[in-house]
Structure 1
Amino acid sequence: MRLTVLGGGGFRVPLVYRALLEDGGDPSGRIGELVLYDTDQGRLDAIGAVLAQQARQHTGPAPSVRATTDLDDALRGTDFVFSAIRVGGLAGRTRDERIALDEGVLGQETVGAGGVLYGLRTLPVAVHIAERVATVAPDAWVINFTNPAGMVTEAMSRVFRDRGLGDRVIGICDSPVGLCRRAARALGTDPDRADYDYVGLNHLGWLRRVTVGGRDRLPELLADTERLESFEEGRLFGADWLRPLGALPNEYLHYYYFNREAVASVRQAPATRGEFLDEQQSRFYRELRSGARPDSAYELWDRTRLEREETYMAESRQVSGGWQRDSCDLDGGGYDRVALALMRAISRNERTTLILNVANRAAVPGLDQEAVVEVPCQVDAAGARPLAVGAVAPDQLGLMLSLKAVERSAIEAAESGSRAAALRALALHPLVDSVRVAERILEAAGGY
């Protein structure tokens, strides 16, 4: 089988290749060829060097790797398309962050004004990609990791449905699976032997139950401060807030529940997250492009990756006590393993349950059929089907509805070029506190 990665020169591609190398399933159902597509040949060459060293260090069979800057060539004949593009690069991200911070609101690439600006820039490219996949490889499954993942997945899904190709676009994220596994470990149970009730949109979700042996053990965890604050989300939100909330929020909800503190911390930092990553990754790619260290490409990448993981959400961690991430959360695995599990379930008809971004159908009461939600899904050769989650708490549903209105306004703006829709997307966001602020942010970003 063939997997095409869009954004194939991206820094995290070696994580995907690592997952493919570790796949020990039936050879007939494994990925045998990996095609990397990117608009930057230099980045493709750099990541290609890392993957080549990974393959040399691996004792078993390794998928062949081919790189191209021709989109249709990358898509033709593929079975799966993994979309992980970054339109505008890290320079675009840093600009989004600074524009928001200059107005005193959160500067973050997927949440708040920064997320809307990123979406407005990304959606036209993502829709074009979906159109090319539907034309060149209509039988392929699209796995979307491109942020903002919820609105991008919904926009790409519309292209497939409009062409009668069904629900072949599925969004993934590593945040829900990380939260679920950390909660299970805090309970002293095997994460693979628990069931999870999770509901939300991408980067806006809540873990409501952790069921082990037929019994929900989340109340037990919420009642035990020591265990509750032994893992990332517990430390981030604190037991005193999680108990009255009655659920474990996705880490990105820290920007909503502790917005003032988060904005102050980001503004006080010497650099935004985008600026830090831009400097770090520019150094990494520059060193590999120099050709001075061809035999240590993987080691250089892994050191850079570890630094990236250690500094993840550093400003939010500073607000909640300045704690360091646990070693088990630094291996960088997550979305790549979800992607592999999803591909295996579809290609081998191995039924499994995964938390994914898919069309709601009737899973979440209060949201319409085609709204992309992030919920547990049953996955097999027929694709991913959302499981009914039952009634959603009013505070959770209210936030979901507000953010869905933002996402759809951004999609409308990208489709039509409407300034009114773009302004609505910014002004309706709960973390943008004034229509005038939204107007100035839109103008600073180049208007619409």
Structure 2
Amino acid sequence: MRLTILGGGGFRVPLVYRALLDDPAHAVSEVVLHDTDTRRVAVIAEVLARLARGHPAPVPVRVENRLDDALAGAGFVFSAIRVGGTAGRIRDERIPLSEGVLGQETVGAGGVLYGLRTVPVALHIAERIAALAPAAWVINFTNPAGTVTEAMSQVLGDRVIGICDSPVGLVRRAARAAGVDPAAFDVTGRVGYDYVGLNHLGWLRSLTLDGTELLPGLLADDAALGSFEEGRLFGADWLRTLGALPNEYLHYYYFRRETLGSVRDTAQTRGEFLDRQQGGFFERAGSAGGPEGAYELWERTRLEREETYMAHSREASGGWQRDSHDLEGGGYDRVALALMHAILGDSGTRLILNVRNGTTVPQLAPDAIVETVCEVTAQGARPLPCAPLPEDQLGLMLQVKAVERATVEAAVYKDRDAALRALALHPLVDSPAVAARILERAAREA
């Protein structure tokens, strides 16, 4: 089975390839890389060559510079593109900050700006997939993942599935804090969970081991909550008040004043850090001495990236360094591989994915993309029923979903009013006048 990776020059592509090499099922027989930046994809191909060296069953890799050539014959398409590159992300963050509101690539005004720029490209890709590889399954990791998956589903229907590593990382860290042996995750049915929301806006509301509920005991245990990332990020008192464990990105919503204070006067936004770090990697990799040197440089850069993830939110919640357990998560590479295995094996595996809502959250439209627990078979991912949402969770979901749908509408129809509505209605943008200024400046600097 051929896997095509769009955004094949992306920094994290080697993680996907390493997971494929370690896959005992050998689900993928060939990897095709496509990227609009030929220099970057050439560097990543060198890193993959070093990973494959000496492996008993290396997966062949080739680079295709034309999108149509990359898509033809694909069984799975993994989309992880970044429209506008890190320079675009810098603008998405700095323009809102200049107006005193948060800008992040998936959250707040920054997420809306990124979505407006990305949706037209994602729709073009979806149309080419529908024409050239209509039987392919599309795994979307392109951010903002909920918005982009929703746009692509207008063309591909249920054959596009969004993934994120944050939810499964939360589940695994919470389970470990509650005393669950990590090996229990490898035994079907032992660990259960109820997770629902939108991408980067969800809540873990139940966690069970062999049918026994663990979440109330975890929430009551200060030491256990203090042993993992989300517990430290939100604090025991607030988590007990919520009665749930939020996705880490909800820190932007619940602690917006503190996070804004940490970010507003920063000398370097996350986008600026990644622009410097990854730009430096690709510059140095060309003279690093072939695949071996490129790989070693990539590993050092990757570790620094992971250690600094969400640094501003950690600073706003008291300041602490990520430990080895925080760095453990689902890994988007492992989520993608698990999804492919579940479809190919018709296994009924349960995964947290971004899919069409159906009737899971009755207050949302059936075609709205939600992030929730799904059962995956050869027919795709089916969202499972979940317990009713309390008003606070539902209200936030409804408002942010309105923002996502307005973003898609604005991008598809070049509708300024829809773009202004998307920005002004976001919970982290406190004024329509601010939204209008952000939109005007983004248009000027595009």
Structure 1 length as normaliser, TM-score? 0.96
Alignment of 1:368-407 (within 5 A): 368-407=365-404
Work out whether residues 81 and 142 of structure 2, in 8 Å CA contact, stay in contact via their aligned partners in 1.
Answer: yes
Range moving further from structure 2, 433-442 or 324-333: 324-333
Partner of 1:445: helix, strand, or coil?
Answer: helix
Partner of 2:15: 15
Distance 1:410 1:55 in 2: 41
Letter in 1 for 2:16: V
The answer to whether 1:436 aligns with 2:427 is no
Distance 1:245 1:351 in 2: 31
Work out whether residues 365 and 392 of structure 1, in 8 Å CA contact, stay in contact via their aligned partners in 2.
Answer: no
Work out whether residues 170 and 329 of structure 2, in 8 Å CA contact, stay in contact via their aligned partners in 1.
Answer: no
Letter in 1 for 2:174: A
Distance 1:158 1:314 in 2: 35
> How far off its partner does 1:134 sit?
0.2
Alignment of 1:259-278 (within 5 A): 259-278=256-275
Distance 1:296 1:66 in 2: 20
> How far off its partner does 1:267 sit?
1.6
Distance 1:72 1:329 in 2: 39
The answer to whether 1:130 aligns with 2:126 is yes
> How far off its partner does 1:290 sit?
3.1
> How far off its partner does 1:68 sit?
1.4
What CA deviation, in whole Å up to 9, does each residue of 1:320-362 have, x standing for no partner?
Answer: 1211111133368611101000001111222200000000001
Distance 1:345 1:351 in 2: 7
Letter in 2 for 1:115: G
Report the number of matched residues.
439
Partner of 1:325: 322
> How far off its partner does 1:380 sit?
1.1
Q: 1:175 aligns with which of 163, 166, 171?
A: 166
Distance 2:147 2:212 in 1: 35
Alignment of 1:56-205 (within 5 A): 56-58=53-55, 60-161=56-157, 167-191=158-182, 192=185, 193-205=190-202
> How far off its partner does 1:47 sit?
0.2
Work out whether residues 206 and 250 of structure 1, in 8 Å CA contact, stay in contact via their aligned partners in 2.
Answer: yes
Letter in 2 for 1:184: A
The answer to whether 1:225 aligns with 2:217 is no
Work out whether residues 364 and 390 of structure 1, in 8 Å CA contact, stay in contact via their aligned partners in 2.
Answer: no
Work out whether residues 14 and 48 of structure 2, in 8 Å CA contact, stay in contact via their aligned partners in 1.
Answer: yes
Distance 1:293 1:138 in 2: 38
The answer to whether 1:354 aligns with 2:345 is no
Work out whether residues 305 and 332 of structure 1, in 8 Å CA contact, stay in contact via their aligned partners in 2.
Answer: no
Partner of 1:407: helix, strand, or coil?
Answer: helix
Letter in 2 for 1:237: F
> How far off its partner does 1:291 sit?
5.3
User: Which runs of no fewer than 5 residues in structure 1 stay unpaired?
Assistant: 162-166
Partner of 2:135: helix, strand, or coil?
Answer: coil
> How far off its partner does 1:160 sit?
1.8
- Identity percentage over the alignment? 69
Distance 2:341 2:291 in 1: 33
Distance 1:218 1:204 in 2: 19
Distance 1:91 1:332 in 2: 28
Partner of 1:409: helix, strand, or coil?
Answer: helix
Distance 1:375 1:364 in 2: 10
Letter in 1 for 2:95: I
Partner of 1:316: helix, strand, or coil?
Answer: helix
Distance 2:288 2:322 in 1: 33
Partner of 2:87: helix, strand, or coil?
Answer: helix
Structure 2 length as normaliser, TM-score? 0.96
Partner of 2:355: helix, strand, or coil?
Answer: strand
> How far off its partner does 1:363 sit?
1.1
Work out whether residues 154 and 372 of structure 1, in 8 Å CA contact, stay in contact via their aligned partners in 2.
Answer: yes
Partner of 1:164: none
Distance 1:88 1:169 in 2: 23
Partner of 2:414: 417
Letter in 2 for 1:3: L
Partner of 2:374: helix, strand, or coil?
Answer: strand
Work out whether residues 101 and 107 of structure 1, in 8 Å CA contact, stay in contact via their aligned partners in 2.
Answer: yes
Work out whether residues 361 and 368 of structure 1, in 8 Å CA contact, stay in contact via their aligned partners in 2.
Answer: yes
> How far off its partner does 1:69 sit?
1.5
Letter in 2 for 1:399: L
Partner of 2:24: 24
Partner of 1:367: 364
Distance 1:428 1:190 in 2: 43
Letter in 2 for 1:357: N
Partner of 1:426: 423
Partner of 2:43: 46
What CA deviation, in whole Å up to 9, does each residue of 1:128-177 have, x standing for no partner?
Answer: 0000000000000000000000010011001124xxxxx10000000000
Range moving further from structure 2, 332-341 or 252-261: 332-341
Distance 1:147 1:294 in 2: 29
Letter in 1 for 2:167: P
Range moving further from structure 2, 433-442 or 282-291: 282-291
Distance 1:272 1:293 in 2: 32
User: Which runs of no fewer than 5 residues in structure 2 stay unpaired?
Assistant: none
Distance 1:338 1:330, change over 3 A: same
Range moving further from structure 2, 424-433 or 313-322: 313-322
Distance 1:331 1:56 in 2: 26
